[in-house]
Structure 1
Amino acid sequence: MQAAAPKQSALNTSTIYRIIFAISLGHLMNDSMQAVVPAIFPILEQSMNLSYTQVGWIAFALNMTSSIMQPVFGFYTDKKPSPFLLPLGMLSSMFGMIGIAFAPNFYFVLLSVLFIGLGSAVFHPEGARVAFMAAGTKRGLAQSIYQVGGNTGNALAPIFTALIFVPLGQSGAAWFTISAAIGVLLLWYVSRWYRTELTSGTMRVKKRAAAGNGEGKLSRQVKLAVVFLIFLTFARSWYNAGIGNFYQFYLIEHYGLSIRAAQYYVFIFMIAGVVGTFFGGPLSDRFGKRNLILFSMLGSAPLALLLPHIPLVWVAPLFAVLGFILFSNFSVIVVYTQELMPGKVGMASGLIVGLAFGMGALGAVVLGKLADMYGLTFTMMFCSFLPLLGIVSWLLPNDRKAQ
């Protein structure tokens, strides 16, 4: 029996890259369908004569559904993991895509995005759990790969606008049902592996080791640290809501760009965020999670303050640096929270990723209202101060104390 122990230990700590990359690809497909919603805003704004406030309400309906339901599904699946929720969530998003493609009015669009939000809420906690299960000892790297898939999907929104919705209009959303169908098959494959792991002796060992005292109460210090992490997620999400939903209109109004041209600038910011997300995990392993979070928030603040005041020629390079720095903390905050809440992987993911959507939803409504009342220039100026709220990163415990 003792001779078998090293083999068992090695098996428990092995990193299963095929599953990590598969769930990352599923994450890309899931978030690509979410990205369709802001991508189609300029088309809907013209065809349905929407106000900026109505645009904000569509973003609110999408993101708040995901925000409210993610911690709920995370809490449920921490107690009862449900592998086949993954393809079911993708199926819900497919129905939402069909609805958006043929929506006749504002209210039908709202109903359609609720299906997409629900699909996202189902996917994310279980997707994060799969990445955690397949990570072995490389949790930071696994979470970075997983989150890169989602952030890449979000980053494609401007490209969708320029290459699909400008030439095809609203009906272009129907093409994304093909991606959704492929995603259902991919996640069915991942779910079968997930189910096998749950029923194997190896997975039972993993579950006991990961759960630890997960059912116990969290200490006051841990709760306070989680509150700080949620607040940092709030600041980043509101800023991202301003750029992702309204900066395209600012470029059109302030610099005189076409709808298509404006998308490429927003894409630079988002794709730089994807790169930052990937490198954030390894950098945090080298310099510490708390230090990386602090650098990410305060390092991006001066660039955000400059953005509304620079000529167009400087927007692209500034966006590239700003997106990289700001999003380098994305996967790090998730892993940091998971380590603070052992045995509550789904809940931790639901709180941080779910609340990121929720805060972005609230931000979209508030920023849309500000744009209608005071103009886009005021709204962009307001957004530029949000990364300064990252000063609360000083209050986080260092990595050793957190562990």
Structure 2
Amino acid sequence: MPKRSSDRRSILLLSVGHSCVDVYQGAVAALVPFFAAERHYGYAAVSGVVLAASLLSSVAQPLFGALTDRRPLPWLLPVSTLLGGAGIALSGVGGSYGLTLAFVALSGVGVAAYHPESARVARLAARRAGDGRRGLGTHRGMAWFSLGGNLGFAAAPLLVAAVVGTGGLRLTPLLALPALAGAALCLPVLRELERRRAAGEAREPVPGADDRAAFVRLSLAVVCRSVAFVGLSTFLSLFTTQRLGGGPAAGTAALVVLYAGGAVGSVLGGALADRWGRVAVARWSYLVAAVAVAGVLLVPGPALYLFVALTSAGLYVPFSLQVTLGQDYLPSRIGTASGITLGLTVSVGGLASPVIGALADATSLRTALLPLVLMPVLSWALFRTLPEPVVSERVAPEAGTAPVGR
């Protein structure tokens, strides 16, 4: 198989594998109505479940990223995929609240272990597929990789509704099936990595100087984006049901729109960035998101779904762009940058969920969600301070898949 074709095949497999992993991130929010119905959890209790998935993941992803900066760990891809699936599969069979939190946290660790290494491998394949200058290129390759994750998010409510909606929480072990498929899809990618390493073809760009100040500002922008997205996705199903009626189906439909719109946004973001630059595209997207979140909470009737779609696009267009920006601001720490932008800053949004839940218990759900309108505005303001990094396309002469610069 020609080299560039094999790299594009690797990106496709990584994208589908990413979808299988991120099913389990989306499944947490999708399980919330069922935990509330079967186990009578209140707002604070269900937000605690989301926190359990986010907390360990937020701490662990940068740690796994730092490990992969020192030494590539491609075997983490299938192992972490299986771990993420096992936690969600067991979350419905543990009767106590403590066991539910523990199993969801286990899934979060699996998700944390997957993302830094998979992002590093996807970046390598994207650069080779586009030869650093044409074809897929880094922006579009990473956009397709992110698309897979977004499709996994979008599929999660449908999968949970099909399995748990028909037989209750006792059927959550069936949710392990995507993990088995995702682990199998990782194996051809690992074989291709090993072949490249043996042939001396697995080379990465020579890193330039780190811009840590820009990386910190980027990370704060991603935190604000995460608070808006995680807070909205945690309670969107319940909010939609309250506003429109129609039972759980109306809430599930809103979650599907939120996650599916992200699939469109990720691919669109890569294409727009090739023309106008990543920073400018992200900046305008956050303005759209701020207006859209306000529309979700304030505009009456079925128009809610339109604003959910706009919110999804506005929050997801910058998603893959932020990953490559982080990698370019910290070129000597690709794994750490990926772990922070894909993990820590994204998962920190889960820390806000219990606060939103407690406020909703004390007031109303709409009142608790209104502060989320400000989060995209803060991301927009932070992006106004960021430069567009200039990336070197030179490659290191030595073989091996380890990032250069350690």
TM-score normalised to the size of structure 1? 0.90
1:2-401 mapped onto 2 (5 Å cutoff): 16-135=7-126, 136=128, 137=132, 138-203=137-202, 206-207=203-204, 210-212=205-207, 218=210, 222-389=211-378, 390-400=380-390
Give the length in aligned residue pairs: 383
Cα displacement string for residues 44-85 of structure 1 (whole angstroms, at most 9, x for unaligned residues):
112112121111111111112111111111111111101111
- Distance of aligned partners of 1:132 and 1:15 in 2 relative to their CA distance in 1, 3 Å threshold: farther
Distance 1:249 1:98 in 2: 23
Structure 2 unmatched ranges of 5 or more? 394-406
Q: CA deviation at 1:399?
A: 4.3
| Matched-pair contact (CA < 8 Å) for 1:131–1:143 | yes
| Matched-pair contact (CA < 8 Å) for 1:48–1:105 | no
Distance 1:357 1:321 in 2: 20
Distance 2:327 2:370 in 1: 34
- For residue 302 of structure 2, give the secondary structure of its aligned residue in structure 1: helix
Q: CA deviation at 1:318?
A: 2.1
**Larger displacement relative to structure 2 (320-329 or 65-74):** 320-329
Aligned partner of 2:214: which letter? A
**Larger displacement relative to structure 2 (310-319 or 344-353):** 310-319
Distance 2:376 2:246 in 1: 27
- Distance of aligned partners of 1:371 and 1:75 in 2 relative to their CA distance in 1, 3 Å threshold: same
Query: What RMSD, in angstroms, separates the aligned Cα atoms of the two structures?
Result: 2.1
- Distance of aligned partners of 1:190 and 1:308 in 2 relative to their CA distance in 1, 3 Å threshold: same
Cα displacement string for residues 187-238 of structure 1 (whole angstroms, at most 9, x for unaligned residues):
12222222332333112xx14xx2436xx7x3xxx22211111111111111
- For residue 387 of structure 2, give the secondary structure of its aligned residue in structure 1: coil
**Larger displacement relative to structure 2 (296-305 or 72-81):** 296-305
Match of residue 398 from structure 2: none
Match of residue 3 from structure 1: none
TM-score normalised to the size of structure 2? 0.89
Aligned partner of 1:272: which letter? G
Match of residue 7 from structure 1: none
Q: CA deviation at 1:368?
A: 1.6
Task: Report percent identity of matched pairs.
Answer: 27
